[in-house]
Amino acid sequence: MPAQADNASKQPPLGFGAPFVEGYRASGVLLHLTSLPSPFGIGDVGPSGYAWVDRLAAAGQAWWQLLPLGPTGAGHSPYQALTSFAANPVIISPEQLLEDGLLKPTDVEGGDFPADHVDFERVIPFKRSVHACAWENFRRAGSSELRAAFEQFCDEKAPLQEEPALFMALKERFGGKAFQDWPAPLARREPGALRQAKRELAENIEQFKFGQFLILRHWKALKAYANQKGVRLLGDLPIFVSPDSSDVWANPELFLVDENLNPKVMAGVPPDYFSADGQLWGNPIYDWEALRATGYRWWIDRLQARLEYLDAIRIDHFRGFEAAWHVPAGAPTAASGHWVPGPGAHFFDKLLSALGGLPLLAEDLGMITPAVAGLRDQFKLPGMRVLQFAFDGDRGNPHLPHHYTHNCVAYTGTHDNDTSLGWYNTRSDAERGRLWNCLRRSSGEDGEAVWGLVQLSSSSAAALAITPLQDLLGLDSAARMNIPGRADGQWLWRCPENAFAHPSWDRLLQITRRAGRSQLPGPVGEPLPMPAVPAATHEEIGRRAYLLWEEAGRPQGRDREFWVQAEAQCL
């Protein structure tokens, strides 16, 4: 393993762009911002964010991965945001507003929230009242420095803030209804109706923009602090947008929608081993020809807006850029869909030119064809490997750690997986045995299986190893963040108040150092053992040796030496 001094010299620049530089090794932790501890019911851009960065840095971690941060609608899924160009107002920090002189301590009293989960029904009204109070205090007695900064924000961000601000104000006026159900003149954006709405809702619009100003101001300060500590922020971006979003409302020409502004076709994935009907997501799909005619301006703006407060971005469902599964509107399942090509390399060429680099991670899980892998590799984008998918008995499984390449990110699990302890508790004896064999051990306790996964990802060739906090804390399925396909009761988990002092952090630092991934000076210790390659069965060896004989033209007079060489290649 590389020494600490060598690894430090191979840090990517803060303006990270794919691929990872040769020799780079680092690790990080996955934790959504809303899961941070806070006295106000939900994690936010306040003191707990700084304490979290300190905790990561002290454990030698170089990356904090988050989920999307946009304003959410029904179900509170961060992957169904109401706009691509604003942050969720619930992440405004009351403590930061106190520090800014926009609130008094009495303004934030009276909140009583559970510590182990987000109660959105109580958090949202509380944060709205805090936001409104800060706005009123700002209007009445805001400092000249803060006023000048807000004016500058409005001037610089006007092109991207006006539509989300008006959309959110209208959505509040109409009781949260989908924009397709608003009065037709507003749904269809008739100029006269828009002008009238802007006049009538001017106060609401300015208040929303003020909230966005505060969030960006506080978040950029947190990012600067994290970067100074050697921690980078890896965000997340869904490829598709919500059908009820300012994105579709303000830009219907960029989406395949009908005369009523509803999707003509819906995004999803086809039937597979896990689902006979496939998955029907319901998102509208892009009109890529219309986007191409604009030079993909909307997409470039979308990425640039995020890169103001992130160092790199994971793009969800990367395969949709090569081809997307189009399901006819009204179809009961995804089974009737078909593949339609996406923008492919032309899109990424334009991004590369506009951004000057591609600070992107490709979520390449699921049905990945050679064409999808080729698109990813053409632009040297890191892909993902997830250990929970590795132990099905297929020696060619790309999630087995001995198959990892350097330019990828290794995970024990993701936000869509069960916690690793919950996963292990539901595995068959055969699958558990394959995990222990990969660890070169006969067996072990359930909790040790979780640390075994952490060890496997850390010791792998992947440039970056990411572990969800739930796994570091050894939590079971009750701490799961999301169950795909289930709408209610998701995205609620919050980490315990004592999580930052948990003894697991010392063990993580030890593993990180032994794997040559630590960003801290100090003793490295014994290198971690590399994962064992699963043993092939006699049947598998014989089958593959026969295929080699076929490829060799079926030579006659085969002797023992030929078969020994063939078996050696199979092993």
The predicted pLDDT at position 526 comes to 67
107, 162, 206, 416: which is the annotated catalytic residue?
Answer: 416
Cβ neighbours of residue 390 under 8 Å, at least 6 residues apart? 397, 399, 400, 401, 438
363, 364, 418, 471: which is the annotated catalytic residue?
Answer: 363
247, 311, 316, 471: which is the annotated catalytic residue?
Answer: 316
Q: Which residues share a beta bridge with 233?
A: 64
The predicted pLDDT at position 329 comes to 95
The predicted pLDDT at position 129 comes to 96
The predicted pLDDT at position 8 comes to 43
**Helical residues (DSSP H) of 88-176, grouped into ranges:** 94-99, 120-141, 144-173
Count of C-beta atoms within a 10 Å radius of residue 255:
23
- As averages over each run of 10 residues, the pLDDT of the chain (571 residues) reads 40 64 95 97 97 98 97 93 97 97 92 93 96 97 95 92 97 97 98 98 97 97 97 97 98 98 96 82 97 98 96 96 96 95 98 96 93 96 97 94 96 97 96 95 89 97 97 97 89 95 97 92 66 58 54 56 52 45
pTM of the predicted model as reported, rounded to 2 decimal places: 0.90
Contact (CB, 8 A) for 239 and 317: yes
Strands across the sheet containing 232-237: 360-362, 312-315, 232-237, 63-65, 26-30, 464-468, 408-411, 383-386
Nearest-angstrom CA–CA distance, 376 and 218: 34
197 residue type, one letter:
A
Count of C-beta atoms within a 10 Å radius of residue 410:
25
Can you give the residue ranges of every domain in the chain? 537-571
Nearest-angstrom CA–CA distance, 379 and 372: 11
Nearest-angstrom CA–CA distance, 45 and 214: 10
Name the token pair of 380. 């040297």
Q: Is 289 known to be catalytic?
A: no
| CA distance readout (Å), 496 to 116, 117, 253, 478, 525 | 6, 9, 46, 13, 31
Task: Count Cα neighbours of 524 within 13 Å in the Cβ-side half-sphere.
Answer: 15
The predicted pLDDT at position 9 comes to 43
Q: Is 445 known to be catalytic?
A: no
Count of C-beta atoms within a 10 Å radius of residue 111:
15
The predicted pLDDT at position 562 comes to 54
The predicted pLDDT at position 334 comes to 94
Contact (CB, 8 A) for 69 and 233: no
Q: Is 316 known to be catalytic?
A: yes
Task: Find, among 225, 430, 232, the residue nearest to 314 by Cα.
Answer: 232
Q: Is the dihedral of CA 346, 351, 353, 359 positive or negative?
A: negative
Contact (CB, 8 A) for 224 and 217: no
